[in-house]
Amino acid sequence: MHVISLRGVSRTFRSTHGDTLALRHTDFDVQENDFVTILGPSGCGKSTLLRIVAGLDHATSGEVLQDGKRITGPGPDRGMVFQSYTLFPWLTVHENVCFGLRERGVARSEQNDIARDFIDRVGLSGFERHYPKQLSGGMQQRTALARALANQPRVLLMDEPFGALDHQTRELMQELLLGIWEAQRKTVLFVTHDIDEAVFMANRVVVMTARPGRIKLERPVELPHPRHYSVKTSPAFAALKAELTDEVRAEVLATQAAQSGRNAA
């Protein structure tokens, strides 16, 4: 059985200026232990897709299943890391990581053990008592990752979580996340517009078309694990990257053509 299944999912945003079809009849499955990255130009509906899986948005038609059961709203079985910094500013790093555990009524001592473990895994030991404002952007996102993981979700949903970070920090975060995935084999659905990032971490890359978004193609990434960052310079990586670059580029151009066409009209 698939962990996540989308069946004919589409999403239309209604407004006074008319309706916008953001996502068009999408079918899509995520297997156990999959690391899937969804790649596409801005505004292609990839974040909408992820938010529908999270239960933060709803499909206009079609349905989303998790382990065969229909998703009707957000829940702790689908942990999420957002692009914006969403740590609770009034809680310390430790308290942020404990948020979901406390919600489930886990005993205090067990909460502390779990939090310590995940804070250690993201390399933030010693920062437990810091408030989010005292941390850099990369450290905040590492805490957000620890907070999502500590909750032991079935699927980890990531919406361009490293998008606001500088290039070097972003690459380190990719290695960190990949290392955690290689150790734990969590099921991950990761949205990004960064092709390097998509190929480096995934075992499957999905490319979406320009709006209205649908799945254009899927490619398995057959690079061996554990992956070292030097894999980014290997011929296999370069070949896949070149293909995906062409495919995404075509969609960006299509978006621009559609926009200039609309402006000319």
The nearest distance, CB 89 to another protein, in angstroms, is 6
Q: Give the residue with the Cβ less far from another protein, 187 or 255.
A: 187
- Report d(CA 224, CA 203) in Å as an integer: 10
Q: Give the residue with the Cβ less far from another protein, 104 or 167.
A: 104
The nearest distance, CB 21 to another protein, in angstroms, is 23
The nearest distance, CB 157 to another protein, in angstroms, is 8
Q: Give the residue with the Cβ less far from another protein, 56 or 172.
A: 56
The nearest distance, CB 73 to another protein, in angstroms, is 8
Phi and psi at residue 121, in whole multiples of 5°? Answer: -65, -30
The nearest distance, CB 19 to another protein, in angstroms, is 23
The nearest distance, CB 87 to another protein, in angstroms, is 8
Q: Which residues bind another protein (CB under 8 A)?
A: 54-56, 73-76, 78-80, 82, 84, 86, 88-91, 99-100, 103-104, 131-134, 144, 147-148, 151, 157
- What is the CB neighbour count within 10 angstroms for residue 63? 14
The full length of the chain comes to 265
Q: Any residues with CB less than 8 A from the CB of 258 and at least 6 apart, and which?
A: 210, 211
Q: Give the residue with the Cβ less far from another protein, 37 or 151.
A: 151
- Report d(CA 258, CA 265) in Å as an integer: 11
Residue with tokens 């590492």: 142
* Tokens representing residue 259 in the block: 């926009």
Q: Give the residue with the Cβ less far from another protein, 98 or 202.
A: 98
